[in-house]
Structures are given as C-alpha cells and as structure tokens.
Structure 1
Amino acid sequence: MTAKYQFTATCPKGLENLLAEELRALGAAVEREQPAAVLFAGNLELAYRTCLWSRLANRVLLNLGRARVDNAETLYRVVEDIPWEEHISPNGVLWVQFSGTNAEIRNSQFGAQKAKDAIVDRLRKHTGARPDVDKRDPDLSVMLRLHRDHLEIAIDLCGDSLHRRGYRTHIGAAPLKENLAAALLVRSRWPEIAADGGSLLDPMCGSGTFLVEGALMAGDVAPGLLRESFGFERWLNHQSDIWLPLREEAHQRRVDGLAAGLPEIRGYDADAKVLFAAESNIARAGLEKHVRVSCRPVAAFKVPSHRPIKPGLVITNPPYGERLGEQEALRETYAELGRQLKQEFGGWKAAIFTGNPELCHSTNLRSHKQYKLFNGSIPSQLLLFEIHRSTDAKDDAARVAPRLSEEAQMVANRLQKNLRTIGKWAAKNGISCYRLYDADLPEYSAAIDVYQSLEGQTYAHIQEYRAPASIPEQKAKARLSDLVRATRQVLDLPARNISIKERRRHSHKESGSQYQKRSETSPVFWVEEYGARLEINLWDYLDTGLFLDHRPVRKYLRGLVKDKRLLNLFCYTATATVQAALGGCSESASVDLSKTYQSWAQRNFRENKLDPYRHQLIEADCLQWLASAQQNRRGHYDVIFLDPPTFSNSAKMQGVLDIQRDHTTLIRQCMALLRPGGRLLFSNNLRSFKMDPEIEAEFSVENLSSKLLDKDFQRNPKIHNVWEITTG
C-alpha cells in the first residue's frame, strides 16, 4: 500500500495541463508534463483510482525502467533484465507495442519483435515455459517507447483505452472521443456550473457524448465504472484488497450522486437517426431518467419551457465541412445558432468546438477565450462565449448576408446583368432551368446553373472549372468562395439551396469520378421542361440528371418522332426519351449500362406516366447491344438519338470507347438499324471532334450545332456538336 511507483498517464495532445490538474486532485505527485503525457508518482491505490476516475487520460502506464539503447543487442539485453516473471504467468497471454526508431533500430515492428523475444526468453529461462502472444485480450500489455536513443519500458494498467467508457456502442458520423468531450466540458467550466445548479444543453448533440459526460460529472459518477475490466486485474502484482473497496466506493458515490438529482441536461438534433444512437448510449450509461434528447433543428433551439431552469452552458460540436460546398451550406447553420443563442439564451455561457473556426464568424458572437486542441489529427478550437441577448434584428440579418468584398461585388454585378438578359429570356420562353454564368469573368472560372423546382424553390448549381496552374490553390478557393457568396446574394438563396462542385472541367458525359456518389443523403426535386417532369439531384453526383445544353436538342428530337419508333443510346436518365414520348413517339428503347441511371430513368418514366411496354429501358453495354442488334433489329427504328461519352473505359464494358476513333463504326451501325428515310441525331462533347469525311461521303450529314444552341450557352458555342444524318 505504501510502495511508491512511477507512472505515465497519456492523453490527447493539448490536454496535458488539464490532466496534470486532475491527477493532483486524485492525490498524485505530478513530476512533469510532456507532449500528450504526464509523469507522476504514487502508490498502487492511486493508480487504480486514476484508471477508475480519470476523465481525461487515455492510458495509465506503470514505468518499469529507462535505459540508453543504441542497437538491437542492447535493446534485447535491457528488456531481458526486467523480471517479467513477476508480472505475467508463463501460461498467460502477452502483447508488446513498440514506438520510435533510431539509427540502428529503423523499424518499430522489428523493435517489437526483438523486445518480445527478450521477454519470452527471460520467462522460458526462469519458469521453463513461455506465454502466448496475441493482441486480443492479453493478460499483460508491454509498452516500449524509443526516443533519442533512450528506451522507456512500461506496462499498461488499463487494457483498452480509458476513453472507451463502455456506454457508447452507437456513434454518429463524426464521433467525439469521450475524454476529449470531458476535457471540453472542463475547459467550459461545466463542473462549476453544474455545482451551482446550471443547465447543460447541446443543440447538435449527435450521439450524445457531451450530454453523457456532463451527466457523469454532475452525478459524481466514475467514468470507468461501466467498463467490464481493466488490464491490471490480470497483472500478477494486482491487489484485489485495494481495488475492490475503490470500486465499491465508486458505486456508492454514483448512487448518492444521482439520488441527489442532476440539473437539466438536454440534447437536440435535426437527424432522428443519430438521436436513436444518443438514446441508446444514454440508456447504457444508466442516465435515461436524467438526460433527455429530442428532434429539433437549430433554428428552433430554445430554452426548455416545461419548468423553470437555471441558465448554464450551451456546448456543441457542429459539423464543419471538408468541402467548400458543405462549408457554405453550414454558414447558415452557424448563423442560425448565433441568432438563437442571442435571442433565447441571454445570461448563458456557450462553447463551440470546431475544426473550422472561420465558420464561427457567422454566429455574430465574439468569443472571450479560445483554446487550440486536436480532434484526432484535426487541428481544432474551443471557443467560449458569454451570451448577451440581441435586440438588433438588422445586425443579425447583416451577419446572415455579409457585405460582399470588392471582388465578390464585381461578380455579383455580372450575375445581375445576366439575370436581366438570360433570366428574362428564360422566363419569357417558359424555361425553368438555365445557365446563368459560364466563366464570364476569366478569373472566376465556374459555371452557375439555376433550377426552379415545381414546388417553387430556386436552386443554384455551381461547377468549378480547373484553375490554371499559375493560380495558387488558396487564391482559387477564395475566388470560388466569392462566387458562391455573390450567387447567394443575387439569387437571394439560403445556403442549403446551393450545390457546389469543386472539380476539374469535364465534358458532361466523360466517364470516371464524376459518376461517383458525393454524399449519403441529399434532397431531390422535380422540374418541368416543355411539359415533361424531370427529377433533379444537385448533390449526390457531379451531374444533375439533366444536361441543360441539350435542351434545344431534346426539343428538336421531340418534333421528329410523332408516331415513330425511337432508339436512345447512352440514354443517361432518359430525359430525351421522355420528351420524345410526350411528343407522340409510338415506342422507344433506351439503352444505358448504369443501374443508377436506369433507375433514375424509370422514375422519370413513372412521373410522366409512360407506358413501360411501349417505352423500354434496357440496361446494357451500348457497344455490345449495337453489335448484337445488327442481327435482329435492322431497319427497325425511325429515329435514333446517339449521345455517347467522349471516352469510356468502364470496368463493365468489354472495350474502350474513344469517340473520335470509334464514331465511324457507331454511326454505320446505327444507320443499319434505321428504316428508309430514317434519321440519326448524333451528338458529342469533344471540342476537337472532326467528322470522318467517309461518313459525309456515304450519308447526308447536316451540322446542327449552332442551330441547336440556346441563348444561355452562346458564350460557349463548342459545348456540344450535333449532326443530323440520313441515308440521302
């Protein structure tokens, strides 16, 4: 009981001073702090108490020795000198972890192997047996750290990391580790607020980590009480007579603490799925009678009104977005949080932990203290606020729609000018989806498309083009941000109605990453084009389901097909087929290899009440389908629409498609499927494309590219090539 030991408690980077304070409160003699660790001395009871009660530590290590190690032989000898037979049974299970290198020991795996050999050889020599080696559930975990030719040897008393309390089996998309959440609560002075009866609220609680950790603190509940076991319980020097009373004391403190009652602790989130995770975690922690969660967006965040509560702490870890599009959408979320705090929480304290502190400017709150920390490997900040009730609505509105910079105002002026021309043209012609801007200002290299849904909502789709190599990445990002802010102001849109695609420039049907899903769940909506109802998704894929430059092509095709048979190859979401069907097409076949696009096309067909027996969707490789159709569909179609990608090497395809190389074969195969007098409408997006002279000699070929180009794409006349080909 009185024997003194040397220990190391590890923790997340940036929490060393908080951990040192916690250890002193537990009775430790703190010797020094070092990056992500605190060295301290004490007896075995202190070590057990630290494992049970530390809210901030990752691990508690019992230090066995420190020695200079120059090479592998010295490493082996130093480790072998430790009396391992005093720590593990020869029939036990051992695990060795090694970190660090030097000039001779260049690989941590080699260091671990050498140390393991030394321990096993020592045990075999002294006991005649050797332990098994397995990282799963070991009886003894040995931790070795080599730094500047000095080897530190320790055993892990915890087993699993202390941040794994045992209550969190359900986690959200971006979980906050329990000990980091506890540290943020300590930094925000929650223990003092709770002791004074103040409340704890989290408006974006996710899986509820702040709520549970806050309740454990307020209820005097040891964070390690829910754990099934600790590493020291199978250590040969473990003393149950010390450990069991400590555990019983913790159980009694929990009973007494919860019986005394907790302050109001509540969490909210707009996502019902993550609230299910929060409820499960709260229940596993035994706190379901003390912590409540409910589904509520940030815009509806208010002080609970079911009973009078004392002002306290609002703490949250809002999403911060990895991509510009996500960040721009989140500005409104942060702005809503700021508005609600000022309007509803005067006299409260607030804490926001974020990996993107710049977003906090949108709250229109001034932090009085900031702490730099890490969320895993992500540099982050905790910002603390004293909330004063806002009475100035104009101030709030200005923060939601910040004044544009001089550069962004220049972009806004151009957008306003385009709205007066292209916007009026679109409205006059009943066009609800159009291109408003296409790199009109060369330094702002992007396209902006406007979509007006059937529900009356307006959306903007911003597609960034690749910036020249001479433009620094940060400058390009700043310009795109200016473009987004100008778009939002000119079109008067909430951030959630703007989709931003940061990418290099593609032709609209090139294969590759542009067809990859961009997020898990995103809103879809319907638009109208010449009476057709078409599904749009601005977020999940780089393309939206509707190629706006082909609007006049679809209209022209619609005029060709009354009472005729249509073949649509590389049909994408089959919007051209929908137009043709509404134009009186007697029957059609639409071919595409993508299951995603075939499903999308099917939804378009259903929405427009197309007969699936007359209008077929065929999931197939168009190249193979065309080749096989030469046998059984010759002379079958009146009109064919051929709109292939510029290049495709899809893993599902047998061959590789290069439209410049292969267009001659494709056109001839299509012409063979046409009835006498039939028409092939051939389109592609290769700017350098040249029609093979043999095709022009063999068939009647008319270039319709300039004719089939609407006003909103006239700045970009090479956006597509369109030919009408007949047998002559």
Structure 2
Amino acid sequence: MNSSQRLSTYWVTCADGLELLLEEEIAQLGATNVERKAGRLIFKGTLETAYRICMWSRLASRVVLPIHEHVLDHTFDARDVAEELYEGAVNFDWSLIFAPQSTFAIRIHIDRDIKVNSQFATLRVKDGVVDSFMEAVGRRPSIDTKQPEITMYVQAGKTSHTYCLDLSGDSLHKRGYRRFMTDAPIKENLAAAILHKADLKNRQPDMVLDPMCGSGTFIIESLMILTDRAPGLVRRFGFNGWHGHDHELWMSIKAEAAERHAQALEQPLPQFYAFDADWDAIKATRQNIIAAGFECVLDHIQLEERTLADWGDFPERGNAFIVTNPPYGERLGEKASNRALYQGISALLQDYFPNQYAAVIASQVEQADVLAFAEPQTLRLMNGKLPIYVRFGHVKPSASAQPFLVNWQAQPVEIEGAQDFANRLQKNMTALKKWAVKENIYCLRLYDADLPDFNVAVDLYGDRLHVQEYAPPKQIDPEKAKKRFNLALAVIRAVTGLNRDAIFIKTRAKQAGKNQYEKQSTASKRFIVREGKAKILVNLTDYLDTGLFLDHRQMRLRIAQEAKGKHFLNLYSYTSTASLHAALGGAASTTSVDLSNTYLNWSKENFVLNGLTIDHADEQHMFFASDCFEWLKDGHETYDLIFIDPPTFSNSKKFYGTFDVQRDHISLLKRAMNRLSSDGTLYFSNNYRGFELDEEIEAMFDIEEITQETIGLDYKRNQKIHRSWKIKHFGV
C-alpha cells in the first residue's frame, strides 16, 4: 500500500464552540468516523485527507499526527509532570521522524487539572527530544520558536502524554495575509466559521458589507470563500521537514487548489463595502487585501472612512449580506455605550437593509438581544480567551417611524365628568396631527393643563405617552384629586386608544435643589425616539425629565441646519441632544459640558446610538463633567456656534454655591461670548417665566429675541414655556 494511502489517526483542533461546524467541514474533505471531543476532533484517514484539511479547512486551528504515547504508571504524582514528559520524549527515537539538521519547536497543551509550569514542561520535552537524537545519531537539532521546520504538539494528560507532529506548523488561522492589525481583531478561522454558519456561499449575495471592518478580516474571508480560494494556498506548513512527507502528493493538491481559485476568479463577484470610522483601519484593510492576493479585484471593493452616521444611499442592493464585528469591549469600553451601539446598528439595518441577512458579533448576549432579527440564531464562540456571541438572522423591516399619529383618528368618546377634557384633547390632537405628520415630528406636547380641572401635561414620544400630573394645591382634598387624575387617565386612554403599558405617569411638583434630579422610579424603561435625523434615548420612568426637552425641538433643528463645518459648544448640555443634532448636521466638532456624569454618559449613548464615534483620541466629539462657569474660565478654544440653556436654579455638591439664571446670566454670557468666534452665533434660552435680559448685556452685544421662532405649534398655547435670543458680536 502506498504510504499516502495508509490509514492513520489524526487530530484536528479548533476553538471551543466550533466542533460541530468543523465536523461538517472535514467530512466534506474526506474524514470519516469522526470522534468529537472538546476542542478537537479525532478521525482515521489517509495522509491525503490530512493534507486536504491543511489546505482547505477554514475553521480548524491545527492538524496533528499522534506519533508516540507515554502511558503513566500508578505512582504518577502531579509534582512529577515535567519529568514524566521528559521520560516520554527521551524514550522515543525522534530521528525516525525528522533529521538532526532540521529546526524544531515544542507547543504543549496541558489538561486543566494538572499543575505544572508550562515553560518548564516545554523545556523538559525539548531536552528529551535532544537527548534522544544524541543517543540515536550523535547529533542534536536546533530550536527555532519563530519559523521551525518541525513543530511538535504535546498533549499532557493525567494518565498519558501524547507526542504529535503538528502538520500545520503555525495555527491554521494564520493565513499569511494579516500584515496590519487593528484593536481586538477576530481570528481568521472564527470569521470563516461565522460566514460558514451564515451560509454565505449559497446565498449568492449581490453585495457584502462590513460597516466596521477593522483590519478587513470578514471582507477577506468572504473573498476567499466566494472565489474558492484555499486558505492554505500560500502559507507555510509544518510537514516539510518530516520524513513521512509526500511532496508529490502535496504539490498535486496545491496545483488543484490554484486551478480552482483561478477558475472561480473568472466568475462574477458581488460588490464589497468595507467601512470604518478609523482611517488607519481602512489602510490596514487595503494592505491586507493586497497581501492576501486580491489586488486584482480591488475594483469590486469600496473602502471608505465612514462612521455609521455617514451611511448614505447605497446603489441597488439586491441580495445583500451584512457581517460585522462591532467595537465592543476593548474597542469601546462602556457597557451602556455598547448597548446603544447595537441599538444603533439595528436601527440602521432596519432602515437600509430590511429583510436582508446579517451576522453581528457581540461580547454579551444582552447586546445581541437588541438586534431586530427575525427568527434569530446565536452561536457562542471563544475569540482567544474572550467569549463572543454571534447573532444571525434576517433583518426585520422597521416599523413606521410615526405609527401613532399617522394612523390616529378621532373617535366619539363619552366619559361622564370629563367630557370637556376629552373634547379638548381630541381637538388638540386633530389640530396637531397634520402639522406633525408633514414636519416628521414624532415627539410633541398634546395637552398642557388647558383646563383648570385637568391639570396634567400629556406628551407623545413616538407611540408612547408621558403623562405628568401637576401636584394639586394643599387645600385640595387628596382623594378628590386622585379620582380626578384617574378620570383624566381614563380619558387619555379612550381618546388615544393606547394601552396602559404605553402610558407612563409622573407627578410634577415644584422641586428644590437636587431633588429635581432624583429618581422617581427604578423601572428604567428607555426607548428610542426620532427627531429630525437623530435617534434619541428617552427614559419615561426614572426622572421627572425624560432626556428630551420637547419645547426646545425647534432650536435643536435650527442648530442642525446651521452647524455644518462649525465648531459647536453646548453648555448645560443635559443629554446633549443639541450637540447630537449639530454632529449629525455636519459640525466639525462638538463640545458638551454638564456637571452630571449621569447625563454625560447618557449623552455618549445618544452619540453611539447614532453611529458617531466618541473615541477620546480623535477629539471630534468631547464631553466634560464640569461647572460651566469654571470650564469657560479655564479654557481658551473658540467656537463658531454656542447653545446655552441653563436651569432656572441649581445647586450641586460638585459646585460650591448656587446658580440663579436671573442673577448670574450676565456673568455667564460674558464668559461665553469670550469663547465665541468673531463671526459666530450664540443661542441663549431659559425657562424662567419671569426672566428679563439685563440691559448691560444688550449694550455689549448684537442681540435679537427669537422666542417665537423657537416655539413649535404644540407649545403655541403656552407662549411662556421659554424665551430665546440670538447673540452675536457687533460689527458682524
């Protein structure tokens, strides 16, 4: 029998979680009677099968050939592991396997329960191999840990140690093309496993998109699959110095692989899109594509520095396939921001790629759970020592951005004792509907204590209601007030047709000091709403304020229109929704300043949700937890556009003293105008109903009151909700 046709036992190792997929793959390559163990498969086959797995396996880590087993006696003690490994190595004639002029390296895998220093154990195996050679041929081979001609793989177990020839040499995930790296890359064989699980080849996509491509691993592995490129075609292997190597057989397998790839390159390819917010990542991707031998298909690959917020219209999409490894964990850092990132990815996929197939990696299954996939599947893998979760599925089409008002129609409502309230709420909603639908306004005030007996505010956030009861005067009987409020809720449900779980209730009393920032609830139900181009996280349960001041909507939209190319400063930024609008409007930079870390973290989530990078290194979007007075005093940068919406009154343990908008606005505006560029614009607004702008300020700057321009139709019934001014330097 030809030696290449002799049956031998082989091990094929893999990352935890890949065993089933790898078993499918090697079965297609000729392996039979496969035994599955954690992290490896065992089969009996020919050398040709082993070579084909080395050449073609996209999922395996190593292919090893067990050479020698050293069975331990009953006196085995964990303290003797290193010496037992030496004994096993020295008692086999390794000159039968490779020549003394060959270089070699030892890779050792030790069972978890065995306590031994792996470096010392590796050293003792090396000593045993060298001593065996000296005994057999009087010469010793040399060690080369970087590019050895022979790699030995040793499995140290409790009852025996197995000494193997590693046919792979380096791990098979090293295809040879990764010349440039980015943070937290995914291993090549894991990327291939994800593409295999997603059935990329059989989907025959018209386009493949990785919107956060890093160093390009998914793009390159997709190219390799779709061009029938064997992952082992151009890399080195560990069997070249082995006495049993069949060079002629290997060269025939290699020639066959080259021919298959050449034929596949003649077939039409999909269009590939590789985006990343980091220009260095785009450069790395391009260089790695060239190193992989795909320079000839670069015209099929669109490489762009692009954030998720920069997604424009794609050409005719046809059958799209989306796969990505978002910057979780090391690349992003904060858990909350990670969740917002996945919410943003999901929204983008729903907007741009409804019903298309996607595969997205997450570091926590809770992140994957926010992805809007139909009939999702999840694969858990280990990327090195880090667990990852891959969510697969077809992207659900997005629901209408304004499902409630578009579909709402006034219906007859009769409620005894509250008919006036029902009529007024219906009248308001009917009047606002046409305007809101035309202007794409999804969050607005429907009612604000229009009738004295029904002292509530009713705000619409997408398809949910936020109902605030203004605390009744102390002279009102609490029971009577409670009944009146319950009656109001019944009217609200009847008029809007919304279920109880879509209506969130709070009581709004006059707040003193820090009480205005304290939690009203621990339910923490947050939702995404839309305003202009922005997606914004609102919290309808925990605080009196939801994260979005509805009365400043028109100001935010104005800032979005004026911000392009400008450096924008937002003081008392709260959840930085004005900064978000500026960023999405094309601002050169945004800077948000607020004392509250809670609100600044919320701000960062809003940015990440919209696909904007908040990497501290690029300094495009900055957030400062600071008192605005001190921050203005300490800095020197100037800004083209500034927005200030201070509280009426505040104190904080971080800030010694108090802030009173009427008393302190002169000093605030003077400092802010020092930071405004000569031709810049500052917008100043506040909600203090008795506020009057000081004459001193009016004499110093070019000031125009624009209150009416910044109050939307939903607040026209309450002209005193806020006042606003446009302030510039004289002579502009």
Interval of TM-score (by shorter of Structure 1 and Structure 2): 0.5 to 0.7
The residue number in structure 1 matching 2:715 is none
Q: Pick from 247, 250, 259: which aligns with 1:243?
A: 250
The residue number in structure 2 matching 1:31 is 34
Q: Pick from 25, 37, 40: which aligns with 1:22?
A: 25
Compute the displacement of 1:293 (Å). Answer: 2.8
Are residues 1:459 and 2:556 paired?
A: no
Are residues 1:347 and 2:355 paired?
A: yes
1:302 and 1:345 in contact (8 A); partners too: no
Q: Pick from 167, 170, 190: which aligns with 2:200?
A: 190
Go from structure 1 to structure 2 and tell me whether the alpha carbon gap of 1:391 and 1:38 turns closer, same or farther (over 3 Å shift).
Answer: same
Go from structure 1 to structure 2 and tell me whether the alpha carbon gap of 1:253 and 1:400 turns closer, same or farther (over 3 Å shift).
Answer: farther
- Equivalent position SS for 1:137: coil
Go from structure 1 to structure 2 and tell me whether the alpha carbon gap of 1:499 and 1:130 turns closer, same or farther (over 3 Å shift).
Answer: closer
Go from structure 1 to structure 2 and tell me whether the alpha carbon gap of 1:277 and 1:75 turns closer, same or farther (over 3 Å shift).
Answer: closer
Go from structure 1 to structure 2 and tell me whether the alpha carbon gap of 1:356 and 1:63 turns closer, same or farther (over 3 Å shift).
Answer: same
The residue number in structure 1 matching 2:719 is none
Go from structure 1 to structure 2 and tell me whether the alpha carbon gap of 1:457 and 1:120 turns closer, same or farther (over 3 Å shift).
Answer: closer
The residue number in structure 1 matching 2:544 is 413
The residue number in structure 1 matching 2:699 is none
Are residues 1:62 and 2:65 paired?
A: yes
Using the TM superposition, name which of 84-93 and 258-267 deviates more: 258-267
Go from structure 1 to structure 2 and tell me whether the alpha carbon gap of 1:42 and 1:180 turns closer, same or farther (over 3 Å shift).
Answer: same
**Match for 1:170: what amino acid?**
F
The residue number in structure 2 matching 1:135 is 145
**Structure 2: distance between partners of 1:499 and 1:550:** 33
- Equivalent position SS for 1:413: coil
The residue number in structure 2 matching 1:96 is 106
Go from structure 1 to structure 2 and tell me whether the alpha carbon gap of 1:107 and 1:268 turns closer, same or farther (over 3 Å shift).
Answer: closer
Are residues 1:318 and 2:451 paired?
A: no
**Structure 1: distance between partners of 2:280 and 2:201:** 30
Q: TM-score, normalised by structure 2?
A: 0.58
**Deviation per CA, 1:350-397, whole angstroms, max 9, x where unpaired?**
111111332344444455211112222222211112224334113798
**Structure 1: distance between partners of 2:577 and 2:352:** 36
**Deviation per CA, 1:307-355, whole angstroms, max 9, x where unpaired?**
x554142111112245997444444443333233223323311111111
Go from structure 1 to structure 2 and tell me whether the alpha carbon gap of 1:235 and 1:416 turns closer, same or farther (over 3 Å shift).
Answer: closer
**Deviation per CA, 1:471-519, whole angstroms, max 9, x where unpaired?**
xxxxxxxxx79x955x799xx987679999xxxxxxxxxxxxxxxxx94
The residue number in structure 1 matching 2:7 is 4
**Structure 1: distance between partners of 2:155 and 2:463:** 51
**Structure 2: distance between partners of 1:53 and 1:417:** 55
Q: Pick from 124, 136, 151: which aligns with 2:134?
A: 124
Are residues 1:263 and 2:270 paired?
A: yes
**Structure 2: distance between partners of 1:216 and 1:177:** 15
2:307 and 2:613 in contact (8 A); partners too: no
* Number of aligned positions between the proteins: 494
Compute the displacement of 1:80 (Å). Answer: 2.6
Compute the displacement of 1:219 (Å). Answer: 0.9
2:337 and 2:604 in contact (8 A); partners too: no
- Equivalent position SS for 1:368: strand
1:99 and 1:146 in contact (8 A); partners too: yes
- Equivalent position SS for 1:232: coil
1:94 and 1:131 in contact (8 A); partners too: yes
Using the TM superposition, name which of 157-166 and 403-412 deviates more: 403-412
The residue number in structure 2 matching 1:293 is 302
The residue number in structure 1 matching 2:233 is 225
2:89 and 2:132 in contact (8 A); partners too: no
Q: Pick from 209, 212, 225: which aligns with 1:201?
A: 209
The residue number in structure 2 matching 1:281 is 288
Compute the displacement of 1:463 (Å). Answer: 6.1
- Equivalent position SS for 1:173: coil
The residue number in structure 2 matching 1:149 is 159
**Match for 1:523: what amino acid?**
Q
1:96 and 1:116 in contact (8 A); partners too: yes
**Structure 1: distance between partners of 2:623 and 2:8:** 70
**Match for 1:135: what amino acid?**
T
The residue number in structure 2 matching 1:512 is none
- Equivalent position SS for 2:116: coil
**Structure 1: distance between partners of 2:157 and 2:620:** 52
- Equivalent position SS for 1:52: helix
Are residues 1:378 and 2:386 paired?
A: yes
2:220 and 2:292 in contact (8 A); partners too: yes
- Equivalent position SS for 1:237: coil
What runs of 5+ residues in structure 1 fail to find an aligned partner? 421-430, 437-447, 465-479, 501-517, 538-546, 554-574, 583-603, 609-728
Compute the displacement of 1:164 (Å). Answer: 1.0
Q: TM-score, normalised by structure 1?
A: 0.59
Compute the displacement of 1:260 (Å). Answer: 1.8
Compute the displacement of 1:278 (Å). Answer: 1.1
Compute the displacement of 1:410 (Å). Answer: 5.9
2:307 and 2:612 in contact (8 A); partners too: no
**Deviation per CA, 1:80-101, whole angstroms, max 9, x where unpaired?**
3323111221222222233327
Compute the displacement of 1:550 (Å). Answer: 7.9
Aligned 1:419-438 pairs, distance under 5 A: 433=571
Compute the displacement of 1:207 (Å). Answer: 1.7
The two structures, once aligned, show a CA RMSD in angstroms of 4.6
Q: Pick from 382, 401, 417: which aligns with 1:393?
A: 401
- Equivalent position SS for 1:233: coil
**Deviation per CA, 1:212-255, whole angstroms, max 9, x where unpaired?**
1111111111011121x211112222221111111111111111
**Match for 1:459: what amino acid?**
S
**Structure 2: distance between partners of 1:112 and 1:399:** 63
- Equivalent position SS for 1:182: helix
**Deviation per CA, 1:645-677, whole angstroms, max 9, x where unpaired?**
xxxxxxxxxxxxxxxxxxxxxxxxxxxxxxxxx
**Structure 2: distance between partners of 1:104 and 1:380:** 27
- Equivalent position SS for 2:156: strand
- Equivalent position SS for 1:154: strand
**Structure 2: distance between partners of 1:326 and 1:379:** 17
Q: Pick from 154, 159, 169: which aligns with 1:159?
A: 169
1:170 and 1:281 in contact (8 A); partners too: yes
2:344 and 2:608 in contact (8 A); partners too: no
2:60 and 2:189 in contact (8 A); partners too: yes
Go from structure 1 to structure 2 and tell me whether the alpha carbon gap of 1:124 and 1:208 turns closer, same or farther (over 3 Å shift).
Answer: same
Percent identity over the alignment is: 28
Compute the displacement of 1:548 (Å). Answer: 8.1
Go from structure 1 to structure 2 and tell me whether the alpha carbon gap of 1:88 and 1:327 turns closer, same or farther (over 3 Å shift).
Answer: same
Q: Pick from 168, 192, 202: which aligns with 2:178?
A: 168
Are residues 1:522 and 2:529 paired?
A: no
**Match for 2:279: what amino acid?**
A
Go from structure 1 to structure 2 and tell me whether the alpha carbon gap of 1:488 and 1:460 turns closer, same or farther (over 3 Å shift).
Answer: farther
Go from structure 1 to structure 2 and tell me whether the alpha carbon gap of 1:417 and 1:240 turns closer, same or farther (over 3 Å shift).
Answer: closer
**Structure 1: distance between partners of 2:278 and 2:193:** 26
Using the TM superposition, name which of 75-84 and 114-123 deviates more: 75-84
**Structure 2: distance between partners of 1:206 and 1:314:** 15
Aligned 1:608-647 pairs, distance under 5 A: none
Q: Pick from 75, 87, 99: which aligns with 1:77?
A: 87
**Structure 1: distance between partners of 2:314 and 2:548:** 48
Go from structure 1 to structure 2 and tell me whether the alpha carbon gap of 1:276 and 1:202 turns closer, same or farther (over 3 Å shift).
Answer: same
Compute the displacement of 1:5 (Å). Answer: 1.7
- Equivalent position SS for 2:203: helix
Aligned 1:538-553 pairs, distance under 5 A: 549=655
**Deviation per CA, 1:85-141, whole angstroms, max 9, x where unpaired?**
112212222222333279997333332233222211211111111112231222222
